[in-house]
């Protein structure tokens, strides 16, 4: 079996997991994965994944000034570079259009980068409610959303998601068509439970960062983020209310994955 360092001490090796699924006999030395038939330079492939990601985004998800400025604003305002990638933003739009989304909920706004992708795929009368716990992040996001000309379509609510979600539920509005969960990881399962309450059959619920460079494989992990997504992933495997899968990906971001669940018409 290939060696995957689950404690994150030899970071590059985690990518090897992607390449070794079907190969029985292999060793990993100095970033080189040697199988019975071939030696793969993993470092080179990490660069290749990033180049291919950029090739795809250049073709299908080019960023305009509002998106580029949003990413710049994160550095300028001291926010972390934790936004989705351009291709992931485009993926969210594809999902929105596929389910004809008019009402969208997002957990975790940061500087509003994913919010802008989501809001741009809404029809004229569509709305994104986005929840952000950090006041400063909320202010930066509000500016970026304004600069993108999307203030009318975005309702940004500042506070803890677990405090705001019951309030949204109490508003008794129409169910959401798509829910994107991208806030803190430990309560992902609780967020998903709320998402289900705010859904209808056919609602898409998408949860980011559920693979965490392969650390989800470590059943003894003491990392609360890993434990949080492990609880969610297990729940998805057992739930009769949704049909779910996880797409794992490499590219300009670290090796990770998104869970995609659709609310069933009947329990399955
Ligand atoms: C990964 S970033 C979101 C990135 C954003 N979706 C994007 O792609 O542009 C996570 C955000 O969730 C926020 N957050 C963390 N804990 C939260 C909580 N309990 N409730 C709401 N937001 C939270 C963080 O402050 C951070 O801005």
d(CA 20, CA 38): 12
Contact 93, 115 (CB under 8 A): no
Which pLDDT band holds residue 42 (cuts at 50, 70, 90)?
low
Among protein residues, the one whose CA lies closest to atom 27 of ligand 1: 110
pLDDT, tens digit, for every residue of 176-225?
999 999 999 999 999 999 999 999 999 999 999 999 999 999 999 999 99
> 131: buried, middle or exposed (CB in 10 Å: 19+, 13-18, 0-12)?
buried
Residue 184 in contact with ligand 1 by CB distance below 6 A: yes
Q: How remote is the CA of residue 179 from the centroid of ligand 1, in Å?
A: 14
Residue 137 in contact with ligand 1 by CB distance below 6 A: yes
Q: How remote is the CA of residue 132 from the centroid of ligand 1, in Å?
A: 6
Among protein residues, the one whose CA lies closest to atom 7 of ligand 1: 83
252's tokens: 């300009």
109's tokens: 């706004």
Which pLDDT band holds residue 266 (cuts at 50, 70, 90)?
confident
Q: Are strands 204-208 and 178-181 parallel, antiparallel or unpaired?
A: parallel
DSSP states of 157-194: EES-HHHHHHHHHHTT-PPPSEEEE-S-STTHHHHHHH
214's tokens: 């392969």
> Ligand 1 pocket test: which of 70, 110, 128 has the largest number of ligand atoms within 8 Å of its C-beta?
110
Quote the pTM value: 0.87
Contact 13, 5 (CB under 8 A): yes
According to the CATH classification, is domain 65-263 in 3.40.50.150? yes
Query: For residue 7, what pLDDT is reported?
Result: 33
187's tokens: 């309560």
* Percent of the chain residues past pLDDT 70, beyond the cut: 84
DSSP states of 83-152: PPPHHHHHHHHHHHHHTT-SEEEEE--TTSHHHHHHHHTS-TT-EEEEEES-HHHHHHHHHHHHHTT-GG
Residue 145 in contact with ligand 1 by CB distance below 6 A: no
Residue 73 in contact with ligand 1 by CB distance below 6 A: no
- Point out the least confidently predicted range of 40-54, 66-80, 188-202, 236-250: 40-54
Residue 223 in contact with ligand 1 by CB distance below 6 A: no
Residue 160 in contact with ligand 1 by CB distance below 6 A: yes
Query: For residue 268, what pLDDT is reported?
Result: 78
Residue 105 in contact with ligand 1 by CB distance below 6 A: no
Q: Per-residue pLDDT averaged across 138-155, rounded?
A: 98
Residue 113 in contact with ligand 1 by CB distance below 6 A: yes
Q: Per-residue pLDDT averaged across 24-46, rounded?
A: 54
> 227: buried, middle or exposed (CB in 10 Å: 19+, 13-18, 0-12)?
middle
């Amino acid at each position: 079996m290939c060696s995957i360092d689950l404690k994150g001490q030899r970071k590059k090796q985690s990518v090897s997991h992607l390449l070794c699924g079907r190969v029985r006999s292999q060793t990993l030395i100095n970033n080189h994965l040697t199988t019975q038939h071939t030696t793969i330079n993993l470092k080179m492939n990490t660069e290749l994944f990033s180049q291919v990601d950029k090739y795809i985004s250049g073709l299908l998800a080019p960023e305009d000034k509002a998106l580029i400025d949003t990413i710049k604003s994160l550095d300028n305002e001291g926010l972390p570079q934790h936004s989705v990638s351009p291709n992931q933003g485009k993926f969210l739009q594809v999902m929105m259009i596929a389910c004809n989304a008019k009402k969208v909920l997002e957990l975790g706004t940061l500087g509003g980068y994913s919010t802008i992708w989501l809001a741009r795929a809404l029809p004229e009368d569509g709305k994104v409610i986005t929840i952000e716990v950090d006041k400063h992040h909320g202010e930066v996001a509000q500016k970026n959303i304004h600069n993108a000309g999307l203030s009318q379509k975005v309702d940004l609510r500042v506070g803890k998601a677990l405090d705001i979600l019951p309030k949204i539920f109490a508003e008794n509005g129409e169910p959401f068509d798509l829910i994107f969960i991208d806030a803190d990881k430990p309560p992902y399962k609780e967020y998903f439970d709320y998402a289900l309450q705010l859904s209808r059959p056919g609602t898409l619920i998408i949860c980011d960062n559920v693979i965490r460079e392969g650390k989800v494989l470590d059943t003894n992990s003491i990392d609360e983020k890993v434990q949080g997504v492990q609880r969610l992933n297990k729940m998805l495997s057992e739930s009769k209310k949704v049909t779910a899968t996880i797409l794992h990906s490499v590219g300009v971001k670290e090796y990770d994955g998104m869970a995609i669940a659709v609310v069933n018409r009947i329990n399955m």
